Structure 1
Amino acid sequence: MTTRQTLLAATCTLGVVLAAATTVPAQAASLPVVHPRAETSALHDDEAGGNANADDPAIWRNPAAPGRSLVIATAKEGGLRVYGLDAREIQSVAAPAGPGEDDAPGRFNNVDLVHGMRLSGGRADLAVVSDRGNDRLRIYRIDRDRPGGPLTDVTDPAARPVFSADQAEINDQRTVYGLAAWTDKATGRSYTLVSRRNETRLALLELTAGPRGTVGHRTVRTLDLPSSFRLPDGTSWTPCGEPDERPQVEGMVVDPADGTLYAGQEDVGIWRLRADLTGRPELVDKVREYGVPATYDEETEECTPGADPGYGGEHLTADVEGLTLLTEPDGDGHLLASSQGDDTFAAYDRERDDDNEYEAGFRVGAASAALDGSEACDGAAVLDAPLGSRYPGGLLVVQDGQETPADGDRESTGFKFVDLRDVKDVLDD
């Protein structure tokens, strides 16, 4: 996330704050509320907390024992956290340091899963992570009962940076950012789609099996989404930000049924395109702030909005963040998107024939004084499959960007576990 509304300034990590171009819509407060069943321990983005900042989760289902499934989540400079379905930590994996003392440290941004990839030692499930600090993919083999923890680093040591030519470029941090994994049903080949921080570029990377069970990658092609947009009145609009920054993508997910990629351009909306990055992208929905002119103030590092011309959408308040796909056994389902600016989630029909029509919205609200909801959500993951006695109807995991009760002035974040049956009740109403 980069550009943020003023009300979210407490959780802004990149220093650019977009003053609210529109007030939080009244319908956000009236949306139905689902409540979490559990939450992880708070992470703290300070030296004492290991600079850990919750960001993006993925849910791995243990086919032999679904009740012993895992949630694998990124914590930025804090690396990875692995949780059981009781939300208790099982393993912590450190992010690798930079190559030199003055170089950017590892920073794990997004995570997704690849199932059954053929490696030199047999097939394996993998967690693939975008290491924004080092501009690389990090790949971990998942072995639920391995002594020491289920994740083992199998990253090919020869893997090159994704976007940067050298360490100086890496240190500028225009590096790998959002991430979604995809296995092509026709070929069986596995890929990772990644975005570039502060740019509109997407890259398709094929995962490659290396010696001794390692995994590397090669770039297949790239695609640049627009950074400015022609409005109905004939004028051109560019989302406000620092002079050298373009509207980036973070949240991404691929529908495995037909290889459709959904990509959330944070200050713009949700794009639909082919996961192989061919063809023409289509804008499924826009943020409410779409088309609002704004001026960047160097002193305040904020964007001051002008009059709203009324070209924005009705369901997303910038930033549009975590995207995840609710795939139901009958082939139906929903695309879920975090509307970070108003602490809500938007659900769209999975079917492209219906043009991914918006169907419903909801909030994740506090279950009790001790178990709060999700605010400023950055990432989400959903799985519609039985997960033992705790979540027999599936699970939704969402990041909480404002963990409460707060620990003094420390920035506190974490993850909330929501029974998917509660979410489906809302979507079916």
Structure 2
Amino acid sequence: MRRHRLGHPLALVLVAALVALAGATPAHAGEVPVVTPVSETPPFFDDEEGGNADADDPAIWRNAAQPGKSLVVATAKEGGLRVYDLDARGVQSLAAPQPPGAGDAPGRFNNVDLLSGLRLPTGRADVAVVSDRGNDRLRVYRIDPSRAGGPLTDITDPAAPAVFSADQDEINEQRTAYGLATWQDRATGRSHALVSRRNETRLALLELRATATGTVGYRKVRTLDLPSSFRLPDGTSWTPCAEPGERPQVEGMVVDPAGGVLYAAQEDVGIWRLRADLTSTPKLMDRVKEYGIPGTYDEATEECIPGADPGYGGSRLSADVEGLTLFQESGSDGYLFASSQGDDTFALYDREADEGNEYEGGFRVGPAGQLLDGSEECDGAAVLNAPLGSRYPRGLLVVQDGHDTPAVTDENGEEREATGFKFVDLGTVMDRVDP
């Protein structure tokens, strides 16, 4: 989620305005290859008329028996959970939980990830795991494409505890379960979820456990706190600018199963690499360009006013760094994809952590004609490097679009802000990027 970012220099604002007037592609688009989507979901509207739905994070489930009938599971925040076919058509919609009491926070589904072969009393099953930011809990859905009424069934243990909060009052403050990545430990066979805490730097490792009745709960194994301030090369200390009381949070996360490595995107800082069991010292793999720039929070505008850039930032990621997803090939081959939200691009890094996760290139998802736009301010992304029928023979990339266009207006002629998800042919991406 983009929040309290450092203001843009006036020159960039003027360039953007001229580009908009000319109807041209933004200047940064020429710096990396541009790919275009094949299809998109219907728009989400975060207002009363639209059901308070806001697209955030997708996951791709492969139907091994019929790959062309694979599914995309996506979060819609207060709009709950949505399921799509490969043509981006709606298959199922599940509501987020209602508030437990008057004045309490409602359910708000933030991130989603998948687990294959979770052990249940009735056998193994594929499941979707969701972070419910509103209730500070995880919710678990069994995936069965043959089920009448929709492929997802809620199998969450009703007794599942809050992940971070001590009571409902603390839950209502919304420093709750936020980012999410699932992980199956190859050494033990146990299934886990890694969860970040909103407005904090804390990560939690949870073990998922089935009950005798077939529901799924979890227990907390351990937590780890990432840094909130940083020592710069000139000896000074830097803390990313944010609203008072907020620390630099993590949302995008993914685990590389080959080595049990967690990659965690601290939005205003960069990408961390550490053991998925949270027992190692985190290493900052890459920094955002804004790393080290001092900022002063302006309460009137709710924005951060930047100071002088000391030149300690990275060169590939523009804050916020958001959705992380893994392009897996055999062994340790493949790439880590990262959403560089500040400049609407995606960065690719080599999966080989021992060699420093070398940067391999980038791309942007641009518009395909007048009615199918690209992806801007992308929160979440998912990639699956496997054949998905005739439509996506080389796999699929799904990205959130934080500013869906063309504009839709309400009955008063006012533009309604919209979000959505774009479906991109993965083969086209890899042909254009050519790492």
Tell me if both proteins adopt one fold, taking TM over 0.5 as the criterion. yes
Residue 15 of structure 2 is matched in structure 1 by: none
1:423 maps to which of 419, 424, 429: 429
Q: Structure 2 counterpart of 1:193, which letter? A: L
Residue 340 of structure 1 is matched in structure 2 by: 341
Q: Structure 2 counterpart of 1:152, which letter? A: T
Shift of 1:18: 3.3
* Aligned partner of residue 416 in structure 2, secondary structure: coil
Correspondence 1:261-276 to 2 at 5 A: 261-276=262-277
Shift of 1:22: 9.7
Residue 81 of structure 2 is matched in structure 1 by: 80
* Aligned partner of residue 162 in structure 2, secondary structure: coil
**In 2, Cα distance between equivalents of 1:330 and 1:249:** 28
Shift of 1:145: 1.4
Residue 153 of structure 1 is matched in structure 2 by: 154
Q: Structure 1 counterpart of 2:65, which letter? A: A
Q: In the alignment, is the contact (CA less than 8 A) between 1:91 and 1:150 conserved in 2? A: yes
Shift of 1:17: 4.7
Residue 416 of structure 2 is matched in structure 1 by: 410
**In 2, Cα distance between equivalents of 1:28 and 1:134:** 39
**In 1, Cα distance between equivalents of 2:74 and 2:221:** 27
Residue 47 of structure 1 is matched in structure 2 by: 48
Indicate whether 1:98 and 2:86 are aligned.
no
Per the alignment, do residues 287 and 23 of structure 1 end up closer, same or farther by CA in structure 2, a change over 3 Å counting? farther
**In 1, Cα distance between equivalents of 2:379 and 2:115:** 21
* Aligned partner of residue 36 in structure 1, secondary structure: coil
Correspondence 1:39-188 to 2 at 5 A: 39-188=40-189
Q: What's the CA shift string for 1:134-188, capped at 9, x where partnerless?
A: 0000000000110010000000000010000000000000000000000001111
Indicate whether 1:230 and 2:218 are aligned.
no
* Aligned partner of residue 18 in structure 1, secondary structure: coil
Q: Structure 2 counterpart of 1:425, which letter? A: D
Q: Structure 1 counterpart of 2:97, which letter? A: P
Q: Structure 1 counterpart of 2:431, which letter? A: D
Q: Structure 2 counterpart of 1:255, which letter? A: D
Q: Structure 2 counterpart of 1:390, which letter? A: R
Shift of 1:411: 1.6
Shift of 1:291: 0.1
Residue 13 of structure 1 is matched in structure 2 by: none
Q: In the alignment, is the contact (CA less than 8 A) between 2:33 and 2:433 conserved in 1? A: no
Shift of 1:354: 2.1
Q: Structure 1 counterpart of 2:416, which letter? A: R
**In 2, Cα distance between equivalents of 1:317 and 1:331:** 27
Residue 7 of structure 2 is matched in structure 1 by: 19
**In 2, Cα distance between equivalents of 1:97 and 1:75:** 15
Per the alignment, do residues 149 and 412 of structure 1 end up closer, same or farther by CA in structure 2, a change over 3 Å counting? same
Q: What's the CA shift string for 1:244-303, capped at 9, x where partnerless?
A: 000000000000001000000000000000000011000010000000001011222111
**In 2, Cα distance between equivalents of 1:17 and 1:262:** 22
Unmatched tracts of structure 1, length 5 or more? 4-15
Per the alignment, do residues 28 and 354 of structure 1 end up closer, same or farther by CA in structure 2, a change over 3 Å counting? farther
* Aligned partner of residue 399 in structure 1, secondary structure: strand
Residue 20 of structure 2 is matched in structure 1 by: none
TM-score w.r.t. the length of structure 2 is: 0.94
Q: Structure 2 counterpart of 1:65, which letter? A: Q
Q: Structure 2 counterpart of 1:18, which letter? A: L
* Aligned partner of residue 30 in structure 2, secondary structure: helix
Q: In the alignment, is the contact (CA less than 8 A) between 1:21 and 1:308 conserved in 2? A: no
Q: In the alignment, is the contact (CA less than 8 A) between 1:22 and 1:289 conserved in 2? A: no
* Aligned partner of residue 205 in structure 1, secondary structure: strand
Q: In the alignment, is the contact (CA less than 8 A) between 2:404 and 2:420 conserved in 1? A: yes
* Aligned partner of residue 77 in structure 2, secondary structure: coil
Q: In the alignment, is the contact (CA less than 8 A) between 2:272 and 2:284 conserved in 1? A: yes
* Aligned partner of residue 168 in structure 1, secondary structure: helix
**In 2, Cα distance between equivalents of 1:28 and 1:418:** 17
- What percent of counterpart residues are identical? 73
Residue 194 of structure 2 is matched in structure 1 by: 193
**In 1, Cα distance between equivalents of 2:300 and 2:164:** 31
Residue 259 of structure 1 is matched in structure 2 by: 260
Q: In the alignment, is the contact (CA less than 8 A) between 1:22 and 1:288 conserved in 2? A: no
Per the alignment, do residues 319 and 32 of structure 1 end up closer, same or farther by CA in structure 2, a change over 3 Å counting? same
Q: What's the CA shift string for 1:313-336, capped at 9, x where partnerless?
A: 000000000000000246410000
Q: What's the CA shift string for 1:198-233, capped at 9, x where partnerless?
A: 000000000001122100000000000000000000
Per the alignment, do residues 63 and 72 of structure 1 end up closer, same or farther by CA in structure 2, a change over 3 Å counting? same
TM-score w.r.t. the length of structure 1 is: 0.95
Correspondence 1:206-245 to 2 at 5 A: 206-245=207-246
Per the alignment, do residues 23 and 420 of structure 1 end up closer, same or farther by CA in structure 2, a change over 3 Å counting? farther
**In 1, Cα distance between equivalents of 2:352 and 2:46:** 39
* Aligned partner of residue 281 in structure 2, secondary structure: coil
* Aligned partner of residue 346 in structure 2, secondary structure: strand
Q: In the alignment, is the contact (CA less than 8 A) between 2:320 and 2:341 conserved in 1? A: yes
**In 1, Cα distance between equivalents of 2:391 and 2:420:** 20
* Aligned partner of residue 47 in structure 1, secondary structure: coil
Residue 360 of structure 1 is matched in structure 2 by: 361
Residue 324 of structure 1 is matched in structure 2 by: 325
Q: In the alignment, is the contact (CA less than 8 A) between 1:333 and 1:349 conserved in 2? A: yes
* Aligned partner of residue 316 in structure 2, secondary structure: coil
**In 1, Cα distance between equivalents of 2:280 and 2:159:** 32
Residue 286 of structure 2 is matched in structure 1 by: 285
Instruction: Kindly tell me the number of residue pairs found equivalent between the two proteins.
Output: 417
Greater mean deviation of Cα atoms: 281-290 or 326-335? 326-335
Q: In the alignment, is the contact (CA less than 8 A) between 1:192 and 1:206 conserved in 2? A: yes
Unmatched tracts of structure 2, length 5 or more? 13-25, 410-414
Q: In the alignment, is the contact (CA less than 8 A) between 1:384 and 1:393 conserved in 2? A: yes
Q: Structure 1 counterpart of 2:358, which letter? A: E
Shift of 1:51: 0.3
Q: In the alignment, is the contact (CA less than 8 A) between 1:374 and 1:399 conserved in 2? A: yes
* Aligned partner of residue 213 in structure 1, secondary structure: coil
**In 1, Cα distance between equivalents of 2:133 and 2:9:** 29
Q: In the alignment, is the contact (CA less than 8 A) between 2:28 and 2:343 conserved in 1? A: no
* Aligned partner of residue 311 in structure 1, secondary structure: coil
